[in-house]
Amino acid sequence: MYGFPMNSRIIADDPVAAFQAAHAKLQKQRRFNNILFSCLFLIITAVSLYVGEVRIDVILSDLPGLFRYVYDTIPVMAPQTALEDFREWYWAFPKWLSLLFDTIIIALLGTTIGTIGAFFICFPASRNLVKNSWVYFFNRRGMEIARSVPELVYAMIFVFAFGLGPLPGVLAIAVHTCGALGKLFSEVNENVSEQQIEGVQASGANWPQTIRYAVVPQVMPNFLSYALLRFEINVRAASVIGFVGAGGIGQELMFVIRQFVYTDISAIVLMIIATVAVIDISCEKLRHQIIGDEELL
Amino acid sequence: MSVRSQVLSADALDQLKADHSRIFVLSSREKIQRILFFGFAFIVFLYCFWRTGFFDFAAILNGLTKLTDVLRFMLPPAHNGFLGEFLYAMLETLAMAFLGTLLASIAALPLGFMGAKNVIPNTFFHFGLRRIFDFIRGVDSLIWALIFVSVVGLGPFAGILAIAVGDTGTLAKLFAEAIENVEKKQIEGIKASGANNVQTMRFGIFPQIFPVLLSNSLYYFESNTRSATILGIVGAGGIGLQLSDRIKINNWDEASFIICLILITVFLIDTLSKEIRIRIIKKAH
């Protein structure tokens, strides 16, 4: 009954009429809201269709091309010559494997450097650990800027500065990771138990000692788990960072897509998906081990 | 309880350390394990640094000088009279994100129903469909964008398709999970009043999952706004195209202006969508 306005006088007079009046009022309001939102939605969709240059005749003329594209990426495979066909499909397997290895290294180094950076920034960016609000403010804003700019934009800037190759890729991922993990880390810090901080401080510890002996032991498992999760994300990012010339398999993938080497496209994409899946599964196992099944983030 | 205060003598401290040697002294086996682990990690990282060119100090120094130059050129950000063009490109990016998410949500709805265990209880079908979702999710939206640019040509339409296809897998998986988590009682109630399968879906399942779907779609609109800003780098329209053009011709002040524009837009969309999502969830409870 608590959904309806309780008015004891009306209910005493005629409960059915009161109910119907309240119901009609709610229904009217709801209908009005529905119409309003539908109109808003239609307007946004119409504007988007116009700005996004979506035209039905273009879609219809492109549709067969799309299916042909997918069809062309499927390699020719005959049962009697399956092995040779497969070998021909993956004709540059050693080269692609080496590039994929580069991609994993870019992700690994980027994650490591970013995690170390985030580790040092996150303590001054936790509200419960710093008294000076300016330090907190600047650290927070710095991390926000670091994580809001996409990796690919950093990569373009670093490619200009350091030249083509994996180095700018590592740096781009490191900067972005630093901002993303710094935020998560400082949120973990803000949830630590105050008692241990007070205990360590009562025994005369200064700020770095308090962090080392009261906070770090509490937060380390969560930090590691977040870092592993980030590594999974960064492997995906590293596989496309080559699109702007920052090393790894992305550069090769862009080349074969631009040159319409259809079967190579499917070969490389499948390799990327397999790598990402293997890393996801092994990282998940590791994370289970680090923080136990029940608290998995 | 009284508070005791005492200072440990040096002897007592030694005695304590001897009594609790597990805490203060590592066993030799642990020591060796530690040295091996850190030694191995050190060599691996050394190799990684060497492979990615971190030991080419001349190149790094040169790069850092160039980077400081770039930062100097970036300040102050300026639009140099291209403000209108940038704002329109930003609108294009938002349109791409909106239509991409909309298309993905529409496509993911039936797929989500098909992928839910309690709607279609066939294990093989369920497993196969879920693997297809995983496959679509495994390909980054930037790869889809590159592919669609070569199919439908340059422009925002390729970006819309890239977002739509990439997110269909993710949203279908989330929708399927939401459908699997619905309460049985309401479905049984509807069935007991004589509803057929379609009616059960409409009146038993749909009202339960609709708020979840809406809030998931909004969340993905938010994250797609971010990814749509960079799709233009591979030619799929929007603000990314402007940004990569400016970086290619070294117009750094305009590039930093565009970056600021992206930051502000992403912040606004985040705030707005978070507000709406909280309202939807509150209404649902």
- Asked if A129 and A237 sit in the same domain, the reply is yes
Query: Which residue of A lies nearest to B57 if distances are taken between CA atoms?
Result: A162
Which structural domain, as residue segments, surrounds residue A104? 90-295
Which pair of tokens denotes residue A9?
């006088």
Question: Is A219 among the domain residues?
Answer: yes
- A286 and A161 part of one domain: yes
Residues A32 and A150 in one domain: no
E strand or H helix at A136, and its extent? helix A133-148
Average pLDDT over residues B244-254: 89
> Does one domain contain both A252 and A173?
yes
User: What CA–CA distance (Å, rounded) separates A88 from A168?
Assistant: 33
User: pLDDT tens-digit profile of A177-215?
Assistant: 999 999 999 989 988 888 888 998 898 888 889 888 888
CB contact under 8 A, B259 and A153: yes
Identity (one letter) of the amino acid at A226? Y
Structure tokens at B162: 């890239």
Residue A11 has pLDDT above 70, yes or no: no
Q: List Cα–Cα distances, B157 to A213, B92, B163, B180, in angstroms.
A: 55, 10, 10, 34
Q: Smallest Cβ distance to B243: which of A153, A258, A269?
A: A153
Burial class (CB within 10 angstroms; exposed 0-12, middle 13-18, buried 19+) of B186:
middle
Same domain, A217 and A272: yes
Are residues A152 and A265 located together in one domain of the fold? yes
The verdict on residue A183 lying in a domain is: yes
**Residues 167-196 (B) with a CB less than 8 A from some CB of A:** none
CATH code of A145's domain: 1.10.3720.10
Asked if B52's CB is within 8 angstroms of A167's CB, the reply is: yes
Residues A156 and A34 in one domain: no
Q: Is residue A180 part of a domain?
A: yes
| DSSP-assigned letters across all residues of B95-158 | HHHHHHHHHHHHHHHHHHHHH-TTTS--HHHHHHHHHHHHHHHHS-HHHHHHHHHHHH-SSHHH
Answer with the residue of higher pLDDT: A297 or A239: A239
On whether both A131 and A47 belong to a single domain, the answer is no
pLDDT at residue A5, rounded to an integer: 53
Tell me how many domains chain A contains: 2
E strand map for chain B: none
What's the token pair of residue A67?
Answer: 């299916």
Same domain, A102 and A161: yes
pLDDT at B212 over 60: yes
Residues A26, A162 within the same domain: no
Q: Is residue A63, in this structure, part of any structural domain at all?
A: no
One domain for residues A44 and A150: no
What pLDDT shows up at residue B251? 87
- Which residues on B lie below 8 Å from A170 (Cβ)? 52, 54
Tokens for A229, please give them.
């999760």
Please report whether residue A112 resides in a domain: yes
Is residue A191 domain-shared with residue A45, that is, in the same domain? Answer: no
